[in-house]
Amino acid sequence: MSHACGTGERVPSEIVRLILLLKIQSLSYGHSGVQLATVERLAEFYNRGILPVVYQQGSLGASGDLAPLAHMSLPLLGLGEVECEGRVRPASEVLGELGWKPLELQSKEGLALLGKEMRVGLLNGGCLGLMALAVLGVYIHVCKGYAWGPAFLISGCVGVSLVVAMVISSLVGTMVPMLFHKIHIDPAVASGPLITTVNDLVAVVTYYGLALLFLVNMFHL
Protein backbone atom coordinates (compact mmCIF):
# COMPACT_ATOMS: atom_id res chain seq x y z
CA MET A 1 0.00 0.00 0.00
CA SER A 2 2.90 2.34 0.59
CA HIS A 3 3.61 2.17 -3.17
CA ALA A 4 0.07 3.25 -4.16
CA CYS A 5 1.24 6.79 -4.80
CA GLY A 6 0.26 7.30 -8.44
CA THR A 7 -0.95 10.62 -9.75
CA GLY A 8 -1.98 12.33 -12.96
CA GLU A 9 -4.43 10.96 -15.51
CA ARG A 10 -6.04 7.56 -15.13
CA VAL A 11 -4.76 4.65 -17.16
CA PRO A 12 -7.36 3.88 -19.87
CA SER A 13 -9.83 1.17 -18.91
CA GLU A 14 -8.79 -1.18 -21.71
CA ILE A 15 -5.17 -1.04 -20.51
CA VAL A 16 -6.20 -1.73 -16.90
CA ARG A 17 -8.22 -4.70 -18.12
CA LEU A 18 -5.13 -6.00 -19.91
CA ILE A 19 -3.02 -5.49 -16.77
CA LEU A 20 -5.56 -7.53 -14.80
CA LEU A 21 -5.44 -10.34 -17.34
CA LEU A 22 -1.63 -10.45 -17.37
CA LYS A 23 -1.46 -10.45 -13.56
CA ILE A 24 -3.99 -13.31 -13.40
CA GLN A 25 -1.90 -15.25 -15.91
CA SER A 26 1.32 -14.58 -14.00
CA LEU A 27 -0.09 -15.64 -10.62
CA SER A 28 -1.76 -18.71 -12.12
CA TYR A 29 1.62 -20.33 -12.77
CA GLY A 30 1.92 -20.94 -9.02
CA HIS A 31 5.37 -19.44 -8.57
CA SER A 32 4.36 -16.40 -6.50
CA GLY A 33 3.09 -18.12 -3.35
CA VAL A 34 -0.29 -16.36 -3.26
CA GLN A 35 -3.51 -17.94 -2.04
CA LEU A 36 -6.02 -19.22 -4.57
CA ALA A 37 -8.59 -16.70 -3.35
CA THR A 38 -6.39 -13.84 -4.57
CA VAL A 39 -6.27 -15.17 -8.12
CA GLU A 40 -9.98 -15.97 -8.05
CA ARG A 41 -10.86 -12.46 -6.88
CA LEU A 42 -8.79 -10.91 -9.66
CA ALA A 43 -10.53 -13.19 -12.14
CA GLU A 44 -13.92 -12.06 -10.75
CA PHE A 45 -12.86 -8.43 -11.21
CA TYR A 46 -11.94 -9.18 -14.82
CA ASN A 47 -15.10 -11.14 -15.62
CA ARG A 48 -17.45 -8.60 -14.01
CA GLY A 49 -15.70 -5.57 -15.51
CA ILE A 50 -14.63 -4.21 -12.12
CA LEU A 51 -11.48 -2.28 -13.01
CA PRO A 52 -9.17 -0.79 -10.36
CA VAL A 53 -8.38 2.89 -10.80
CA VAL A 54 -4.70 3.12 -11.82
CA TYR A 55 -2.79 6.35 -12.48
CA GLN A 56 -0.24 7.04 -15.18
CA GLN A 57 2.45 8.86 -13.20
CA GLY A 58 4.39 8.43 -9.99
CA SER A 59 5.79 4.91 -10.25
CA LEU A 60 8.69 3.65 -8.13
CA GLY A 61 11.75 1.59 -8.86
CA ALA A 62 13.56 0.58 -12.00
CA SER A 63 10.81 -1.75 -13.17
CA GLY A 64 8.32 1.12 -13.42
CA ASP A 65 5.29 -0.97 -12.45
CA LEU A 66 5.25 -0.86 -8.63
CA ALA A 67 2.80 2.02 -8.27
CA PRO A 68 0.40 0.80 -11.01
CA LEU A 69 0.35 -2.73 -9.56
CA ALA A 70 -0.11 -1.33 -6.05
CA HIS A 71 -3.19 0.61 -7.19
CA MET A 72 -4.45 -2.46 -9.00
CA SER A 73 -4.15 -4.53 -5.81
CA LEU A 74 -5.83 -2.08 -3.43
CA PRO A 75 -9.40 -3.23 -4.23
CA LEU A 76 -8.45 -6.75 -3.12
CA LEU A 77 -8.12 -5.29 0.38
CA GLY A 78 -11.25 -3.18 0.09
CA LEU A 79 -9.22 -0.03 -0.49
CA GLY A 80 -8.85 2.40 -3.36
CA GLU A 81 -11.36 2.96 -6.14
CA VAL A 82 -12.73 0.92 -9.00
CA GLU A 83 -14.56 1.66 -12.22
CA CYS A 84 -17.79 -0.34 -12.26
CA GLU A 85 -20.56 0.05 -14.85
CA GLY A 86 -19.00 3.25 -16.14
CA ARG A 87 -18.72 4.94 -12.72
CA VAL A 88 -15.75 5.35 -10.37
CA ARG A 89 -16.71 4.18 -6.89
CA PRO A 90 -14.95 3.20 -3.64
CA ALA A 91 -13.83 -0.41 -3.78
CA SER A 92 -15.29 -1.11 -0.33
CA GLU A 93 -18.73 -0.04 -1.56
CA VAL A 94 -18.63 -2.32 -4.60
CA LEU A 95 -17.33 -5.27 -2.58
CA GLY A 96 -20.09 -4.75 -0.04
CA GLU A 97 -22.78 -4.79 -2.72
CA LEU A 98 -21.42 -8.07 -4.07
CA GLY A 99 -21.13 -9.60 -0.61
CA TRP A 100 -17.36 -9.97 -0.90
CA LYS A 101 -15.10 -9.58 2.09
CA PRO A 102 -11.73 -7.85 1.61
CA LEU A 103 -8.90 -10.34 1.34
CA GLU A 104 -6.31 -10.60 4.10
CA LEU A 105 -2.68 -11.35 3.37
CA GLN A 106 -1.93 -14.87 4.60
CA SER A 107 1.32 -16.10 6.07
CA LYS A 108 2.31 -17.91 2.88
CA GLU A 109 1.80 -14.78 0.84
CA GLY A 110 3.77 -12.71 3.33
CA LEU A 111 6.69 -15.12 3.28
CA ALA A 112 6.61 -15.31 -0.51
CA LEU A 113 6.55 -11.54 -0.75
CA LEU A 114 9.43 -11.14 1.70
CA GLY A 115 11.50 -13.78 -0.05
CA LYS A 116 10.93 -12.19 -3.43
CA GLU A 117 11.79 -8.71 -2.17
CA MET A 118 14.98 -9.96 -0.53
CA ARG A 119 16.04 -11.72 -3.74
CA VAL A 120 15.41 -8.56 -5.73
CA GLY A 121 17.34 -6.53 -3.15
CA LEU A 122 20.24 -8.99 -3.27
CA LEU A 123 20.33 -8.87 -7.07
CA ASN A 124 20.20 -5.07 -7.20
CA GLY A 125 22.72 -4.74 -4.38
CA GLY A 126 25.06 -7.25 -6.02
CA CYS A 127 25.03 -5.32 -9.29
CA LEU A 128 25.62 -1.99 -7.56
CA GLY A 129 28.28 -3.55 -5.31
CA LEU A 130 30.25 -4.93 -8.25
CA MET A 131 30.04 -1.58 -10.03
CA ALA A 132 31.24 0.21 -6.90
CA LEU A 133 34.08 -2.28 -6.45
CA ALA A 134 35.36 -1.80 -9.98
CA VAL A 135 34.69 1.88 -10.62
CA LEU A 136 35.65 3.22 -7.20
CA GLY A 137 38.71 0.96 -7.02
CA VAL A 138 40.05 2.33 -10.30
CA TYR A 139 39.12 5.90 -9.35
CA ILE A 140 40.86 5.71 -5.96
CA HIS A 141 43.99 4.21 -7.53
CA VAL A 142 44.20 6.59 -10.49
CA CYS A 143 42.94 9.84 -9.01
CA LYS A 144 43.91 9.52 -5.34
CA GLY A 145 47.24 7.75 -5.74
CA TYR A 146 46.46 4.69 -3.59
CA ALA A 147 48.00 1.34 -4.41
CA TRP A 148 45.71 -1.23 -6.04
CA GLY A 149 45.26 -3.26 -2.85
CA PRO A 150 44.11 -0.47 -0.52
CA ALA A 151 42.05 1.08 -3.33
CA PHE A 152 40.03 -2.09 -3.83
CA LEU A 153 39.73 -2.65 -0.10
CA ILE A 154 38.03 0.72 0.23
CA SER A 155 35.80 0.17 -2.79
CA GLY A 156 35.03 -3.34 -1.53
CA CYS A 157 33.72 -1.91 1.74
CA VAL A 158 31.45 0.40 -0.25
CA GLY A 159 30.29 -2.49 -2.43
CA VAL A 160 29.47 -4.79 0.49
CA SER A 161 27.68 -1.93 2.24
CA LEU A 162 25.48 -1.45 -0.83
CA VAL A 163 24.58 -5.14 -0.92
CA VAL A 164 23.66 -5.22 2.79
CA ALA A 165 21.75 -1.93 2.58
CA MET A 166 19.74 -3.05 -0.47
CA VAL A 167 18.76 -6.39 1.08
CA ILE A 168 17.74 -4.90 4.42
CA SER A 169 15.94 -1.96 2.82
CA SER A 170 13.94 -4.37 0.64
CA LEU A 171 13.00 -6.37 3.72
CA VAL A 172 12.08 -3.29 5.75
CA GLY A 173 10.18 -1.74 2.85
CA THR A 174 8.00 -4.85 2.70
CA MET A 175 7.51 -5.53 6.41
CA VAL A 176 6.79 -2.00 7.63
CA PRO A 177 3.69 -1.37 5.46
CA MET A 178 2.36 -4.81 6.45
CA LEU A 179 2.90 -3.99 10.13
CA PHE A 180 1.20 -0.60 9.88
CA HIS A 181 -1.73 -2.19 8.08
CA LYS A 182 -2.14 -4.69 10.93
CA ILE A 183 -2.29 -1.92 13.55
CA HIS A 184 -4.67 0.16 11.38
CA ILE A 185 -2.27 2.95 10.46
CA ASP A 186 -2.24 4.19 6.87
CA PRO A 187 1.02 2.77 5.43
CA ALA A 188 1.06 5.29 2.59
CA VAL A 189 1.46 8.13 5.12
CA ALA A 190 3.39 6.59 7.98
CA SER A 191 5.83 4.14 6.41
CA GLY A 192 7.71 6.49 4.08
CA PRO A 193 9.71 8.49 6.66
CA LEU A 194 10.46 5.40 8.76
CA ILE A 195 11.66 3.33 5.80
CA THR A 196 13.85 6.19 4.53
CA THR A 197 15.41 6.69 7.98
CA VAL A 198 16.08 2.98 8.48
CA ASN A 199 17.64 2.65 5.02
CA ASP A 200 19.96 5.61 5.63
CA LEU A 201 20.99 4.28 9.05
CA VAL A 202 21.67 0.79 7.70
CA ALA A 203 23.85 2.10 4.87
CA VAL A 204 25.88 4.42 7.11
CA VAL A 205 26.34 1.94 9.98
CA THR A 206 27.29 -0.89 7.61
CA TYR A 207 29.88 1.16 5.75
CA TYR A 208 31.56 2.64 8.82
CA GLY A 209 31.42 -0.70 10.63
CA LEU A 210 33.17 -2.45 7.76
CA ALA A 211 35.65 0.39 7.39
CA LEU A 212 36.52 0.20 11.09
CA LEU A 213 36.81 -3.58 11.07
CA PHE A 214 38.79 -4.10 7.87
CA LEU A 215 40.46 -0.82 6.92
CA VAL A 216 41.44 0.39 10.38
CA ASN A 217 41.75 -2.62 12.67
CA MET A 218 42.95 -5.28 10.22
CA PHE A 219 44.87 -3.42 7.50
CA HIS A 220 45.68 -0.18 9.37
CA LEU A 221 44.86 2.09 6.43
Amino acid 187: pLDDT = 63
Domain around 47: 7-98
Amino acid 184: pLDDT = 76
Amino acid 168: pLDDT = 84
Low-confidence ranges of the chain (pLDDT < 50): 61-63
Residue 39 in domain: yes
Domain finish residue from 65, 98, 131: 98
Instruction: Tell me: do 69 and 129 sit in the same domain.
Output: no
Q: What is the CATH number of the domain that holds 130?
A: 1.10.357.20
Residue 48 in domain: yes
Residue 28 in domain: yes
Instruction: Tell me: do 175 and 199 sit in the same domain.
Output: yes
Distance CA 212, CA 29 (A): 47
3-state secondary structure of 7: strand
Residue 53 in domain: yes
Domain finish residue from 39, 68, 98: 98
Distance CA 47, CA 109 (A): 24
